[in-house]
């Protein structure tokens, strides 16, 4: 039943996305709201979001295929499949953000490896290959040394790439609220959290309701409680340091999130829906063992993460580099108040739809995913 | 008939204007103004010759600063590119906030809507009634340590031998990492607009959408080659920025904003030449650079 609803929602999301895909591919970037001052918008935030889920899901796959955790035997392939469908979702969203996406090959042929972006492009390509190889190996030779070696490389890449998106932001010394070594250090934890959330949903909703599932989602739920608390601590550290320092640019970005134009999304979606509700539900053993509730909490945490990614990106860019710059000259895409356009939202909806359908079709059509086996 | 009348009106207006200027010049006793006036009456090529010293490389200290800079430029161009170091000096005491440089730059580089290389930032100091204004033109700072360069994933942004940060339009993938990294907001992205959009194209209009479009689609000459605006090709989709009008400099012309500045507030030249106007100014104590604490080492200096 849940699967059918998710199929329907995925199809609807994709349908809503067709307009965005058409507009971006055939008209260009004219209907987007990001620009020359708020240089990166919803698509960059969603790229961070999807890439985080992918790398996080891979980290969890290692519970099965690298660390041999008995409880997660057989669950690794679902995590790997999740990683495989979310990484392209990340790459589509970021490709749409490029002014010249048809030139992406230049990053392969004449890369500047000193630039975090080039490192990431190469890293993701390698990572995609590693996910595919991991899947093949885990199916054919699950317990061999070669599988473990590949999974170890994958784990290292997953951590490096999740931290890399933090570096992409924190190298910008001109954006005070990003320019902290803490940022790349936090991102692998964020990725792990979104990986746990994804697996809660996948196992909770799309695997048979038996004792193993109850134990698995319960364990993931406990991990989630810890991770949400760690995330809350990071928020506190980031925001209190920024506000306490009194440096206006840092404080202003935080004030925009806490009390300004993005406050509703922060308090309503990121904190209440994405952190407090899951905490309340998951501390109750009965609910935490239920596949439905665990899956739903996974989705809520993911929604919270999507908003959190946005709240890292837009507010930091909404502070002009020079006072008075935004009033000095006017024209399209020279705004400082950013809210995603309908077309940007449509593209994201389409990508979510694509990833959702790809996951479900894989689970239903690919023989190795159809077969659900657990080790007692 | 109508045409003849217009010509006559124009001719008498010209004479009137000339007489008025003569009177003005006489009243002020400004001999040089009369010389300029006479020069203006001559043929265009003579004008150029009489206004610019015979050998521009030897303009004297008392010549108009534009002529001195022209001479500095001619001297610099004789050197190897790596031996010169272009800098810009902006005298904030002289800038009147007319935005002429902004518009001249838009015209020179045929910048489309939403793309700007040299906005003039207005700063209000104090509170009414004790209030004053300051105008800060903001070109690209051509930083010596430019944060926009290392973040470019494809080496599309780089510093050339003369110390100017260039964008290789055909290499740029439009990721806007450089826009994000620039601490001065000196880059804009070209989203592919034209001014003629929405202009009606009715029969009988001499200058309808098509004609206007044609002008806008004609190439600009940044980095010394033509860039027509067509079919989402570069520079559409690219990061764009001030490049000190290198295409003009190469031909011995000052950057457009320097030539246009009515207050002679913007100066340009080779800082490696101790005799140049700019080299003499940048060591003065009342010179600042924006956000120096970042260590970007801008090549744009402000006199305050
Ligand atoms: S001002 Fe900005 S765009 Fe210009 S060189 Fe410096 S960092 Fe690069
Ligand atoms: S927008 Fe172009 S010039 Fe700027 S960093 Fe990206 S590829 Fe390089």
User: DSSP states of B142-166 as a string?
Assistant: --SS-TTTTT-TTS-EEE-TTS-EE
Residue B154 Cα to ligand 1 midpoint, Å, equals: 17
pLDDT at B15 (0 to 100): 42
* Mean per-residue pLDDT over chain B, rounded: 83
Task: For residue B198, name the pLDDT band (cuts at 50, 70, 90).
Answer: confident
Question: Does residue B186's CB lie within 6 angstroms of at least one atom of ligand 1?
Answer: yes
Q: Where are the beta strands (DSSP E) in B109-241?
A: 120-127, 130-137, 157-159, 165-167, 187-189, 239-241
Q: Which residues pair with B120 in a beta bridge?
A: B137
pLDDT at residue A376 tops 90: no
Q: Which atom of ligand 1 is nearest to the CA of B185?
A: 2
Strand, helix or coil for residue B100: helix
B-facing residues of A in 334-363 (CB < 8 A) are 334
Min CA distance, A174 vs chain B (Å)?
A: 5
Interchain pair A36, B187: CB under 8 A: yes
Distance CA A355, CA A83 (A): 10
**Closest listed ligand to the CA of B154:** 2
Alpha-carbon distance A340 to A318, whole Å?
13
Residue B147 pLDDT more than 60?
yes
pLDDT confidence of residue B26? 40
Judged by a CB distance cut-off of 8 A, whether residue A373 touches chain B is no
Average pLDDT over residues B245-250: 96
Is residue B249 in contact with ligand 1, taking CB distance under 6 Å?
A: no
CA distance B87 to B49: 27
Which ligand 2 atom minimizes the distance to the CA of B189? 1
- Residue B299 in contact with ligand 1 by CB distance below 6 A: no
Q: A280-289, B21-30, B49-58, B99-108: lowest mean pLDDT where? A: B21-30
Q: Mutate which of B87, B141, B240 to test ligand 1's pocket (most atoms within 8 Å of Cβ)? A: B141
**Cβ atoms of residues A29 and B191 within 8 Å:** yes
Averaged confidence pLDDT in chain A: 93
Among A75-79, A86-90, A250-254, which is the least confidently predicted range? A250-254
Q: Say how many Å lie between the CA of residue B142 and the centre of ligand 1.
A: 5
pTM of the full predicted structure? Answer: 0.88
Q: Is the CB of B149 under 6 A from ligand 2?
A: no
Q: Which of B116, B153, B193 sits opposite A117 (nearest CB)?
A: B153
Ligand nearest to the CA of B142: 1
What letter would DSSP give residue B213?
A: H
**ipTM, two decimals:** 0.92
Encoded tokens for B215: 């002008």
């Amino acid at each position: 039943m849940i699967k059918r609803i998710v199929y329907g929602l995925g199809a609807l999301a994709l349908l809503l996305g067709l307009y965005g895909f058409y507009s971006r591919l055939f008209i260009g970037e004219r209907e987007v709201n990001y620009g020359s001052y708020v240089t990166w918008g919803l698509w960059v935030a969603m790229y961070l979001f999807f890439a985080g889920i992918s790398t996080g899901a891979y980290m969890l796959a290692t519970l099965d295929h690298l660390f041999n955790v008995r409880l997660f035997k057989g669950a690794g392939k679902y995590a790997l499949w999740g990683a495989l469908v979310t990484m392209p979702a990340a790459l589509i969203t970021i490709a749409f953000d490029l002014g010249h996406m048809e030139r992406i090959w230049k990053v392969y042929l004449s890369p500047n490896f000193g630039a975090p972006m080039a490192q990431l492009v190469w890293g993701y390509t390698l990572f995609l290959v590693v996910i595919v190889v991991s899947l093949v190996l885990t199916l054919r030779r699950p317990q061999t040394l070669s599988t473990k070696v590949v999974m170890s490389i994958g784990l290292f890449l997953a951590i490096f790439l999740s931290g890399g998106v933090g570096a992409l932001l924190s190298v910008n010394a001109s954006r005070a609220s990003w320019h902290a070594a803490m940022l790349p250090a936090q991102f692998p934890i964020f990725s792990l959290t979104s990986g746990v959330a994804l697996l809660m949903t996948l196992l909770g909703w799309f695997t048979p309701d038996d004792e193993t599932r109850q134990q698995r989602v319960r364990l993931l739920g406990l991990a989630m409680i810890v991770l949400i608390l760690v995330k809350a601590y990071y928020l506190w550290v980031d925001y209190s340091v920024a506000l306490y320092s009194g440096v206006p640019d840092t404080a202003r970005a935080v004030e925009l999130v806490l009390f300004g134009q993005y406050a509703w999304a922060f308090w309503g979606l990121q904190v209440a829906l994405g952190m407090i509700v899951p905490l309340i539900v998951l501390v109750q053993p009965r609910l935490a063992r239920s596949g439905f509730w665990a899956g739903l909490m996974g989705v809520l945490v993911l929604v919270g993460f999507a908003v959190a990614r946005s709240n890292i990106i837009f507010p930091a860019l909404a502070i002009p580099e020079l006072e008075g710059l935004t009033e000095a000259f006017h024209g399209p895409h020279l705004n400082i108040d950013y809210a995603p356009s309908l077309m940007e939202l449509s593209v994201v909806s389409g990508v979510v739809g694509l990833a959702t359908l790809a996951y479900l079709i894989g689970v239903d059509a690919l023989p190795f995913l159809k077969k659900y086996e657990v080790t007692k | 008939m109508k045409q003849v009348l217009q010509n006559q009106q124009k001719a008498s207006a010209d004479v009137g204007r000339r007489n008025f200027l003569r009177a003005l010049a006489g009243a002020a006793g400004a001999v040089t103004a009369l010389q300029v006036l006479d020069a203006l009456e001559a043929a265009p090529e003579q004008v150029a010759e009489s206004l610019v010293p015979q050998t521009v490389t030897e303009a004297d200290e008392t010549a108009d600063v534009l002529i001195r800079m022209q001479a500095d430029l001619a001297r610099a161009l004789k050197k190897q590119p790596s031996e010169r170091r272009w800098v810009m000096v902006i005298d904030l005491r002289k800038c009147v906030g007319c935005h002429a440089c902004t518009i001249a730059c838009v015209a020179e580089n045929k910048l489309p809507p939403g793309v700007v290389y040299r906005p003039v930032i207005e700063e209000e100091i104090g509170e009414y009634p004790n209030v004053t204004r300051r105008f800060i033109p903001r070109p690209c700072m051509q930083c010596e340590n430019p944060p926009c360069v290392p973040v470019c994933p494809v080496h599309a942004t780089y510093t050339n031998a003369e110390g100017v940060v260039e964008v290789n339009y055909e290499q740029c993938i439009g990721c806007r990492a450089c826009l994000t990294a620039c601490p001065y907001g000196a880059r804009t992205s070209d989203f592919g607009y034209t001014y003629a959009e929405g202009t009606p194209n009715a029969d009988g209009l001499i200058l309808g959408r098509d004609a206007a479009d044609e002008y806008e689609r004609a190439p600009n000459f940044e980095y010394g080659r033509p860039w027509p605006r067509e079919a989402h090709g570069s520079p559409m989709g690219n990061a764009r920025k001030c490049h000190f009008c290198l295409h003009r400099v190469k031909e011995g012309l000052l950057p457009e904003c320097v030539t246009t500045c009515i207050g002679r507030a913007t100066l340009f030249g080779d800082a490696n030449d101790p005799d140049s106007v700019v080299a003499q100014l940048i060591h003065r104590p009342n010179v600042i650079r924006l956000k120096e604490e970042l260590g970007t080492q801008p090549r744009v200096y402000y006199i305050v």
